[in-house]
Structure 1
Amino acid sequence: MKFNINDIYHGFKLIEEVELKEIDSIGRIFQHQKTGAKLINIQNDDDNKVFTIGFKTPPENSTGVPHIIEHAVLAGSRKFKTKEPFVDLLKSSLNTFLNAMTFPDRTIYPVASRNHKDFINLIDVYLDGVFYPSIYDSEYTFMQEGWHYVIDEKTGELKYNGVVYNEMKGAYSSPDSLAFDGVVRNLYKDTPYGNDSGGNPDNITDLTYEEFLDFHRKYYHPSNSHMFLYGDGDVLKILEFVNDNYISDFERLDINVEIPMQEKFESMVEKEGIYGISNDESEKDKTYLAMGYSVGSFNNPEELFALGILYDMIIDNPAAPVKKALMDAGIGKSVDGGFESSLKQPLFLILIKGSNPDEKENFKMVLRKSLQDLVNNGIDKDLVKASINKREFALREADFGGYPKGLIYYYKVVQSYMYEGNPFSQLQYDKIMENIKNGVDNRYFENLIQKYLLDNDHCIIYTLKPEKGYTDKKEKEVKEKLSEIKSKLTEEDKNNIISKVNKLREIQGTPDSEEQLNTIPTVSINDVSSTSEVLPLEERNEEDIKVLYHDVHTSKIGYLKFIFDARVIPQELIQYGKLLSEVLGKISTKNYGYSKLINEISIHTGGIRFMLNNYTEHSNKDEYYPKFIVRAKALDNELNKTMELILEILNNTKFEEKNLIIQTIRENKANQEAMIQSSGNIVAARRLLSYLSQKASYDEHIYGIGYYRFLCDLERNFNNKWEEITSNLEKVSKILFNRDNMIMSFAGDKEDYEIFKNNLKQVKNSLNKEENKYYNYKFSNENINEGLTTQANVQYVAKGGNFKEAGFKYGGALLVLQTIAKYDYLWNKVRIKGGAYGVSLDFGMSGNLYISSYRDPNVVDTLKAYDDMGDYLRSFNVSKKDMEKYIIGAIRDLDSPLTSSMKAERAMEFYFNHITQEMIQKEREEVLNTSIEDIKALSDLMDAVMKQNYICVLGNEGKIRENKDIFKTIVSAIE
């Protein structure tokens, strides 16, 4: 229907309507007349609909109250009476996105679904949660999600527990996070950004229940809200629903939540921080040096675009001149940073990892000199063009890695609208990009450097230093504080703490009643398709090359892959195959210096990536198919040039540039360390699986702790090993890139396939052809049950095994069990009662199974929860309706929306894993037909796997050594 400016639609007045031709949409701004609530609508034909409600929630301290409320409001409300409506939706809805996030100055609640009924259900639950949460009924949700005292039954010690408390203990164990936060806190010290909205563990326990409620009363009102609606939904019906069921009940309040601006500094500020390392680690090369600049304005979209491009140009690009200058000066092991435009005052950050405190002055000097050289001499025009083209390609592709487009557009909308700017300014980018390109010859980017990086005194240099035993010292301080608190408690106080914890445990352990469960809206099993989507893949032969063709619409972008069988690499050189994937495209070739090569890639393509991947035979955990894959994407008129560049890299790379190769090794080592510190659940699970499977051992060899230690050895002995390194890279490259060792893949329209096909002759004629020798690898699989120690304040606890070896088969019921376990049993036992931030469970077709926790305060209690899962399943008994919910949740995971390129990727994965469409359909039918008895029957499977007793825990050194009896090996995770 046609909307008219100034007309009122179900209480919402249309303020503005614009065409957003760049994203093929209509944009509208509505304002609710009674409450002043704002609603942005982006309407188009995307069936993956998105709704978000957000509130300005500037923190007044670092107790984490915005973050705790974000958790708490989705734990029961006026209409939805279960303990965890959010979790009920996770396990029973068809959502394509469901979460909530706390930002430094706002809290948002986004949902997405392709099903209209489900979409309305999600909106209903979320709006009832934010406006009418059950947090006012009792303090137990605050205790669970925020913090509470516990008196340890065995030791009598007073302790803290709580989901957010433990989550933030994990966050404060990551030096990457601490470095970024240290810059933000000090650069904007007199604004809300000077506080931690997520919560500092030192301050979270200062928050009272009444302060928690007062914060909700103050900020969670329609007059302080902004809503966002995206996709092909019926706008009028949704406006009617929101008005009639929620915000028409409120009166307008004068809630003037202004985010103040930090006054500009008169000169650079210097600050320091500390993070903990273990006693076994060296403090050398462990310092972080960060330079942060307050730049640009939230209401100048052109500058925001340009500053993002500038960051790519001088720091993020492999040939970035400032990055090169810093690395050549030997200031650190890697250069990172970012351009953060989600703040009212955006941040331009340059971060050095692997440095030392005495390099600070050199860092400032080299950084300033390199920036001044760019201003004086001008930035290389090819580099400028490459960075602009890179941004334009990303805008055109609009592929956000599985996230709903509407959610990404919301992030762009809210960046300016939060502060009363134009919500559509970052979506109307054609004119912006034209202005930027037109300004290149007039020193556009050089002037930005001069204005914001050289002449800008609103900046900070932040030094984050390592300290041995710092985490233990902090933990000791907490224990002493708690001991002092306990010494002042009366017996009545102690009994009150015990009583409250017991009551909390009782609430947590009491299942929701049928009446409460019936308040949660659901879709019907009839809303679920009984047929699996057929993914596009056709085997063809072109120029004697096997081609996997995926006929999908990709808006004139071709996605192509060169796929080489990596079994030609000798076992002792497998890790060099992984290293090869990291250096290709970043060093010179016969016809291109590395800077020219990198620029050519960005100018003519949407990216060329190299990776060593591994596919598993679905029926056998020890049979696998390692592949070295070259992935590229390009507009159809650039496919010829893209293939030319790939062949240049494969045939003519020169492994002679010592500085660039050591830089790559150091950067990858830094990335591995960051993953150990921030994604320990993945690291521990991967390490665990390597104990029991040949395929998983290979994966650990190229992705996990094994590969990290390989990089450490190369860096430590680089000069002595240089000839060996360059020789092995050359050797692997020569044996790998063989035309008889390759198949290809292409995703795109039929017209684009013809362009691709016409270029295959150059591929056939260019690659060498020698006889291939394939190796059968043999790894040692041994149950070494490791404790991997760090100075983190939390643990990542993994346990698993192989159910096929125990005599069980894979079936669709396991996917339903996965939903039940993740969102019922494990959620309640490990997250709600145990205080971990998260827990996951995964069943592989090959029989491998693992459970892993995330930011977990426990070890033994978590392992016991895993062991007891079989007993839980034996007594499993739910209604038919609840069983349908679990099935719907499992199907949702199978049906997560895929972009065209993702469909091609998934189809290729099935092809190499030998998973047929018949198998996929059979699995779906098994999911849809799963019964309560099927789930109960899996109790023996869980028992058998847990008895195999494969364990890996990554986490706090003291906690691991305290439980040393459960480990066969205890080693430091980080060197």
Structure 2
Amino acid sequence: MQRVRGISPGLICSTRYMWQIFGRHKSHRLYSSASALKAAESYQPGQRIHGFTVEEVIPVPELYLTAVTLSHDVTRAKHLHVARQDSNNVFSVGFRTTPMDSTGVPHILEHTTLCGSQRFPCRDPFFKMLNRSLATFMNAWTASDYTMYPFSSQNPKDFSNLLSVYLDAAFFPRLRELDFRQEGWRLENEDNQDPDSPIIFKGVVFNEMKGAMTSPEQIFALHCQRNLLPSHTYSHNSGGDPLHIPRLTWQQLKDFHATHYHPSNSRFFTYGDLPLEGHLEVIQQQALASFSPITPETEVPNEVRWTQPREKHVHCAPDAMAADPEKQTTVSVSFLLNNLTDSFEGFTMSILSHLLVSGPTSPFYQALLQANIGSDYSPVLGYDGSTKDASFSVGLQGINEKDIKQVKNIIEETFKKVVETGFEKERIDAVLHKIEISQKHQSTTFGLQLIASLMQSWNHDADLANILRVNENVQRFQTCLAENPRFLQDKTEEYFLRNNHRLSLVMTPKEDYNEELDQEEKRLLEGMVSGLSQEDRKDIYVKGQELAEEQDKEDDIAVLPTLKVSDIEPELKRTTLEFKQTDGIHVQCCEQPTNGMTYFRAVSTLRSIPEDLMPYIPLFCAVITKMGAADMTFNEFAQKEELKTGGLNISHHVCQDPNDMSSIEQGVSLTSFSLDRNFEDMFNLWSDIFNSPNLNDMDRLTTLVRMRASELAMSIPDMGHAYAMKHAGSTLSPVGRIQEICGGMAQVSFMKRIAESSDLTETMEKLRQAAGLILNKDNMRCALNSGPEFMNEALGHLQRFLGTLPGASQEKGLPLLTKIDGFNSESQWTHFELPFPVNYVSRGTQAVPYTHTDFAKLRILARLMSAKFLHREIREKGGAYGSGATLGTEGSFKFFSYRDPNSLQTLETFDKAVEWAIEASYSQQDIDEAKLSVFSAVDAPVAPSDKGMSLFTSHISEDMKQEQRRRMFAVSKEDLQFVAQRYLALGAQVDSVTLLGPQNTATKSSKWNILQDSSL
């Protein structure tokens, strides 16, 4: 599940789809892009194009784009086209979806819409088409008040194909009852082959939302939104409450589509270097020409403002990973702010929010987090522009229940202090600097990010010109400050001290919370089942058989077009790199059009790390840039960092020799970037960290430790499959072992123990030891990505920086790989018993390094198994939200499932997938589709800032990549059978199994190692 900032929990479904559709319609205009930007600039208001009328042309030079807004003449559908010299073209269609209950109707509709349409009537074409496209992105999600279907592609033919499928899916879906029952919910025999087995709830969304609502963060965010905006659609869970989902009927789903998925309620978006006319022609011919206008009546009213503040107390399950069982309370205060359609007010409030809560220089960070009352900010934090009336929230989690009043008092007093003293000019300048950097930084997903951010306001008819013209908002903001130095103080007083529409929300753990939910679900189920007649029960069994037969049926997918392997470029696009020696340090230089920005990276390799120090390395990386340095406190350092850079980051680095699984490189990675004019200042800050780090402030370390431990614990419900895979790989390779220690369940447990400690003296000493090993240039290499006009100057700044560092540079050449002797792979079966209603399952098997001749075969096999077997068996039949197989560069082949109602049954399915692969009942077309899918990832666009980074961070050269490319083209059915038997068949290699999930009697056997809450 993908989580988007500001959108309530469980309200986003991020099912991924990569699909192609044939281009038999007239779409030749999509293939010419040379004059797209000039054409957009030449449009005039009132001009008619393929059934649309141009409303406004909006040049936005600061973002290097021209936007055109249009309206469809008949249906009044809205269209925004953003012309920009970017080959990663984007399309999206969105609908305002405003449910008035918590049955999850928009979420289930999102799933069911994508299960076949009039022109493409095969079952679940979108997952089948994952392998038939070179799309760079395919997604769909349901937010609180809209549903959106975006895709992107660099290939014009691919874009044309995808556009056809999206249009048909959104406006002409089949919406069959079978698909509703599979994707939404159904009553079915637990064993669908046994009519006498118990009848239970099944369904993909039903299980997804049971998993989504496991996280205390998600529960808190949902209650915050529904209680702050209680009068209309926001009081409901658009993702679906598992206790309400079974109330939704198939007819209600179809009715919701008819009223909400209509062009009169739609917003189209196109972006990139393809011409607008071709997009509009296809949209008109394939979709809008079939509709007459309606009045959708989906407008969301503004919330009626309260005359008195309100309070709400809710519960969640106890956190098994909490450092202090007595400190599991969360409290926040939320305020309803401006109407989202007032773009300048929203811009102002987002700046004010950043000043109030972001970073250690903010007043709330200092008042709440540095007080060490709790572990971290409350889950809902800062400005939230995802609802028609925006909001602001601030609070703490991980507090003792007796401290609730104190936290509320601190919040109130902090606002008063801000009104009295305001903000330092440097802090405001730092925020404006951040905006400038965001405009210049080039992202490969700019178009997708743009529509994701615009949709929230555009959904409520905000003026897009006012939002897009960032510089005008900046200038107006600066004018307001110049005319009224108390401008932000007045806003603080207006929205926070004199605002009665505020909600105090408290969440405390309840020991039997999960048991109560289970009982409620059982009562709901019993209520539905108890009234069933024998005929009803027979009908349920028959429908279960019908669905199973449909799921087993081999679809005729001839209606689905596909790109061919021959459409893939045989040669990769190479990047020009230069290699230099600066102060004895190896430097990789890559000249790119970076818009006046320069990107610095370094890897400091540690040839050996003491075993007892290794788990501390991630903590060291997390805190070393946040403790202060030289003569600066952490607040002062953070202020300079924001003013001069895009951030200074250190992370744990480990990679495997592409040629040898037993040779590794381990250390830390440094990453930062800045405007060219600030590059020297950025290095001065790095120099302060290396030469004079502050590792003495115990209060500051306590704050950071609690925050990191809380963050890791809260990540498990959303990332359980990733944790399961890391643990499963921990006994299969040296890199896998290190990844588990430094980023898996072992690290979560380690940080829990550290956070539980009342004395961090030993921890501080370990961090000092780490600093002695890491903060030098003994085994360092660097990389610079910059514009050609600044590269020489950047090298000069780098040389001066390196000259300030302790240590002696190595001139023997890089990389610095260490051979790991004595590592013995072993099988392990581990069950982490956690209070979740769903499971995360992984099986890992030893495989091969990147340059091995079988790596390409296993890579194609992983994609083939995911799409052609695991998806059908684990998601469609089993009801899990996700599943797949993957081959990592660390040399392990891993199966996984995500938010899965099953456990050992899924392990059996993994084994059956291997049997299926060996039997080779798949076709050459299936293999070709798997190749297309792999190449879509291999050839994904790379930002100028990231060019050359696979060589720098992983030692994978372009010659190695080209050889992999050649091998992937050559993979045959016999190759896939061979590697399935050689590496994946039971007993062929050492394998390892990890399960995260609730207690399970099936794991109470001698081969399972069970880790319960107390032993984590």
Q: Give the TM-score, by structure 1 length.
A: 0.95
How far the C-alpha of 1:574 sits from its partner, in A, is 1.8
- Mapping 1:845-864, distance limit 5 Å: 845-864=889-908
- Which is further off, 821-830 or 320-329? 320-329
Structure 2 match to 1:143 = 181
How far the C-alpha of 1:701 sits from its partner, in A, is 1.3
Structure 2 match to 1:810 = 854
- Mapping 1:203-218, distance limit 5 Å: 203-218=244-259
How far apart are the structure 1 equivalents of 2:85 and 2:629?
45
Structure 1 match to 2:786 = 748
- 367, 387, 394: which one aligns with 1:350: 394
Asked whether the equivalents of residues 77 and 264 of structure 2 are also in contact (C-alpha less than 8 Å), the reply is yes
| 1:927 partnered with 2:971 | no
- 362, 368, 371: which one aligns with 1:326: 368
How far apart are the structure 1 equivalents of 2:303 and 2:742?
46
- 88, 97, 100: which one aligns with 1:48: 88
Deviations 1:197-233 (A, max 9, x none): 1001010011111111111111111111110111111
- Mapping 1:441-840, distance limit 5 Å: 442-513=485-556, 517-719=557-759, 721-722=760-761, 724-769=762-807, 782-804=826-848, 810-840=854-884
| 1:152 partnered with 2:182 | no
How far apart are the structure 2 equivalents of 1:385 and 1:45?
30
| 1:233 partnered with 2:267 | no
Amino acid at match of 1:896: A
Distance verdict in 2 for CA 1:804–1:47, change over 3 Å: closer
- 369, 372, 381: which one aligns with 2:413: 369
Structure 1 match to 2:109 = 69
Amino acid at match of 1:285: K
How far the C-alpha of 1:295 sits from its partner, in A, is 1.5
How far the C-alpha of 1:317 sits from its partner, in A, is 1.0
How far the C-alpha of 1:381 sits from its partner, in A, is 2.5
How far the C-alpha of 1:809 sits from its partner, in A, is 5.3
Structure 2 match to 1:184 = 225
How far the C-alpha of 1:496 sits from its partner, in A, is 0.7
Deviations 1:847-904 (A, max 9, x none): 3111111111100111111011122113434554444332212211111111112223
How far apart are the structure 1 equivalents of 2:271 and 2:594?
22
Structure 1 match to 2:947 = 903
Asked whether the equivalents of residues 551 and 747 of structure 1 are also in contact (C-alpha less than 8 Å), the reply is yes
How far the C-alpha of 1:625 sits from its partner, in A, is 0.6
Amino acid at match of 2:707: E
Structure 1 match to 2:358 = 316
Distance verdict in 2 for CA 1:469–1:742, change over 3 Å: same
Deviations 1:359-410 (A, max 9, x none): 22111101111121121122233222222322321232143xx5x2111111
Indicate the SS of the match to 2:886: strand
- Mapping 1:67-466, distance limit 5 Å: 67-135=107-175, 138-153=176-191, 156-277=197-318, 283-336=325-378, 337-399=381-443, 404-440=445-481, 442-466=485-509
- Which is further off, 291-300 or 853-862? 291-300
Structure 1 match to 2:24 = none
Asked whether the equivalents of residues 119 and 168 of structure 2 are also in contact (C-alpha less than 8 Å), the reply is yes
Indicate the SS of the match to 1:17: strand
How far the C-alpha of 1:969 sits from its partner, in A, is 1.6
How far the C-alpha of 1:59 sits from its partner, in A, is 0.7
How far apart are the structure 1 equivalents of 2:965 and 2:831?
38
How far the C-alpha of 1:628 sits from its partner, in A, is 1.1
How far apart are the structure 1 equivalents of 2:471 and 2:534?
70
How far the C-alpha of 1:716 sits from its partner, in A, is 1.8
Asked whether the equivalents of residues 144 and 163 of structure 1 are also in contact (C-alpha less than 8 Å), the reply is yes
Question: How large is the RMSD of aligned CA atoms in angstroms?
Answer: 2.3
How far apart are the structure 2 equivalents of 1:204 and 1:938?
43
Asked whether the equivalents of residues 656 and 889 of structure 2 are also in contact (C-alpha less than 8 Å), the reply is no
- Which is further off, 543-552 or 828-837? 543-552
- Which is further off, 578-587 or 309-318? 309-318
Amino acid at match of 2:497: L
How far the C-alpha of 1:946 sits from its partner, in A, is 7.9
Distance verdict in 2 for CA 1:413–1:473, change over 3 Å: closer
How far the C-alpha of 1:679 sits from its partner, in A, is 0.7
Asked whether the equivalents of residues 568 and 736 of structure 1 are also in contact (C-alpha less than 8 Å), the reply is no
How far the C-alpha of 1:186 sits from its partner, in A, is 0.5
Amino acid at match of 1:321: P
Q: Give the TM-score, by structure 2 length.
A: 0.91
How far apart are the structure 1 equivalents of 2:319 and 2:55?
58
- Which is further off, 62-71 or 370-379? 370-379
How far apart are the structure 1 equivalents of 2:773 and 2:188?
61
How far apart are the structure 2 equivalents of 1:946 and 1:226?
53
Structure 2 unaligned blocks of 5 or more = 1-38, 811-815
Deviations 1:764-793 (A, max 9, x none): 331122699999877786534211122221
Amino acid at match of 1:313: L
How far the C-alpha of 1:103 sits from its partner, in A, is 0.7
Distance verdict in 2 for CA 1:694–1:85, change over 3 Å: same
Distance verdict in 2 for CA 1:20–1:780, change over 3 Å: same
How far the C-alpha of 1:949 sits from its partner, in A, is 4.3
Structure 1 unaligned blocks of 5 or more = none
How far apart are the structure 1 equivalents of 2:416 and 2:311?
21
How far apart are the structure 2 equivalents of 1:661 and 1:85?
52
How many aligned positions are there? Answer: 959
Amino acid at match of 1:275: C
Indicate the SS of the match to 1:965: coil
Distance verdict in 2 for CA 1:348–1:810, change over 3 Å: farther
Distance verdict in 2 for CA 1:966–1:62, change over 3 Å: farther
How far apart are the structure 1 equivalents of 2:514 and 2:121?
41
How far apart are the structure 1 equivalents of 2:120 and 2:609?
57
Structure 1 match to 2:19 = none
Amino acid at match of 2:540: I
- Which is further off, 695-704 or 431-440? 431-440
How far apart are the structure 1 equivalents of 2:548 and 2:125?
18
- 943, 946, 957: which one aligns with 2:985: 943
How far the C-alpha of 1:646 sits from its partner, in A, is 0.5
- Which is further off, 468-477 or 577-586? 468-477
Amino acid at match of 2:90: V
Distance verdict in 2 for CA 1:365–1:961, change over 3 Å: farther
How far the C-alpha of 1:432 sits from its partner, in A, is 0.9
How far apart are the structure 1 equivalents of 2:534 and 2:224?
45
Amino acid at match of 2:376: S
Amino acid at match of 1:272: H
How far apart are the structure 1 equivalents of 2:271 and 2:87?
9
How far the C-alpha of 1:947 sits from its partner, in A, is 7.0
Asked whether the equivalents of residues 870 and 942 of structure 1 are also in contact (C-alpha less than 8 Å), the reply is yes
Deviations 1:333-366 (A, max 9, x none): 1125242212111121224221132222111101
Asked whether the equivalents of residues 951 and 957 of structure 2 are also in contact (C-alpha less than 8 Å), the reply is no
How far the C-alpha of 1:827 sits from its partner, in A, is 0.7
How far apart are the structure 2 equivalents of 1:829 and 1:487?
30
